[in-house]
Amino acid sequence: MILLSVHLITFNNEQHIEETLQSILKQKVDFDYEIVVGDDCSTDSTLNVIETYAAKHPNIFNIKKNSEQLGILKNFKATLDRCSGTFVFDIAGDDMLKTTDALQKMVNVLKSNHILGFVDSGFDSYYEDTKTISVFKNESIICAMKEAYKEAVLLGNVAPIGQCFRKDAVLKHVDFDTYINMNITIEDYPILVDMVMNTEFERINEPLCVYRSHDASYSHEKDLDKFVFQKLQMKKLFNYFAKKYTFPIEIRKSYLSSHNKALLFYAGYFSNKKLGKEVYKSIKSKSLKDRIHYLASQYPTIRKLVSLRKSLKIN
């Protein structure tokens, strides 16, 4: 009987998928698990690499290449439906498990308390361009009080790595059909919000995974239109959840401020005058950084002066 499904959706991950698979197959566990792959029409050798490993481990892999590209959210749900485990650990095709007992530790927590909907854990961030590592990047969130952790989830400040879910709880509480009908492409934020608002959870106070930051990933592509699209998708979801779960006014204000400041940063980074003017006007409490980002959006020389191109971070 399979206890855990490792949920792996892929798209053009040929540069990193082998390390991801190796980190999974090196796990030392006392239960049966499967690796359920949903490839969203990769055009590189991602699927070939996966099939090579599957040939060596035929009883572990469950692979499907979509007949047409579904997008992240639809692919996530389609792959989830094929998972047969009681628990589901989701990992991207460019991330890794850090320790060989990571899956065992997550499953142990979930098995110890049947009312838990999910467990979250720490992660290291690996920056591919500089070959540097930020150890236990999310320590402050993982070690925070439960209410502070919940607030971080609602504000979209919890990274989509290191979470292991109870599958029946996800299917019960996450309204996939609604988000798909809303044309949402983001999968991690709506899942975490629905789960944190409807189930109990625990956290493991150590980094068990490695989050890879690189320009080829969906969330790190340096394209203004994509950044703005992602931010507007997040805002659409936030507004939906704020109404559904009656978020406190303080959280609504905090999210709106963070949203506008992030857009202003992007406007400065890309020297986009129109976006910079629109967003700058909407920020009520302007910091020195906000003023610098606004000037950078209007004057390219300012952007070069403050070296925004060296400090791009995804919010």
Q: Per-residue pLDDT averaged across 92-119, rounded?
A: 98
pLDDT of 314 reads: 40
Is residue 282 predicted with pLDDT exceeding 70?
yes
Are residues 32 and 55 both part of a single domain? yes
The last residue of a domain, from among 155, 188, 219: 219
> Are 181 and 306 part of one and the same domain?
no
Four-point Cα dihedral 301, 307, 313, 315, nearest 10 = -50
Average pLDDT of the segment spanning 35-58: 98
- pLDDT tens, 129-179? 899 999 999 999 999 999 999 999 999 999 999 999 999 999 999 999 999
Task: Note whether 242 and 194 are same-domain residues.
Answer: no
Q: Indicate the angle between helix axes 17-25 and 46-56, nearest 10 degrees.
A: 20
- The answer to whether position 269 is within a domain reads yes
Assess whether pLDDT exceeds 90 at residue 192.
yes
In a domain, 199, yes or no: yes
Residue whose entry in the numeric block shows the structure tokens 């989050």: 211
Same structural domain for residues 200 and 277? no
Q: CATH number, domain at 161?
A: 3.90.550.10
pLDDT, position 306: 64
Q: Please give the pLDDT value at position 303.
A: 74
Domain boundary among 219, 246, 269: 219
Same-domain check for residues 173 and 266? no
Kindly state whether residues 42 and 171 are assigned to the same domain. yes
Is residue 48 a part of any domain in this protein?
yes
Same domain, 204 and 263: no
| 233 lies in some domain | yes
The predicted-structure confidence for 207-254, as pLDDT tens digits, reads as follows 999 999 876 554 444 689 999 999 999 999 999 999 999 999 999 999
Residues 192 and 238 in one domain: no
Q: Are residues 258 and 199 in the same domain?
A: no
pTM of the model: 0.92
The answer, yes or no, to whether residue 305 has pLDDT greater than 80, is: no
One-letter amino acid for residue 183 of the chain: N
Report the pLDDT value the prediction gives residue 197, as an integer from 0 to 100.
98
Is 292 domain-assigned? yes
Residues 127 and 275 in one domain: no
Q: Would residue 44 count as lying in a domain?
A: yes
Residue 75 lies in a domain: yes
Query: Is residue 72 domain-shared with residue 110, that is, in the same domain?
Result: yes
Q: What are phi and psi of 176, to 5 degrees?
A: -55, -40
> Is pLDDT at 313 greater than 90 in this prediction?
no
In a domain, 315, yes or no: no
The stretch 262-284 carries a mean pLDDT of 94
**Which pLDDT does position 301 carry in this prediction?**
80
Note whether 26 and 154 are same-domain residues. Answer: yes
Decide which of 101 and 314 is more confident.
101
Convert the pLDDT of each residue in 57-79 to its tens digit: 999 999 999 999 999 999 999 99
Domain termination residue (choose one: 219, 243, 260)? 219
Mean pLDDT over the full length of the chain: 94
Which structural domain range is residue 231 located in?
222-310
User: What type of residue sits at position 88?
Assistant: V
Into how many domains does the chain fold?
2
Question: Bigger pLDDT: 52 or 311?
Answer: 52
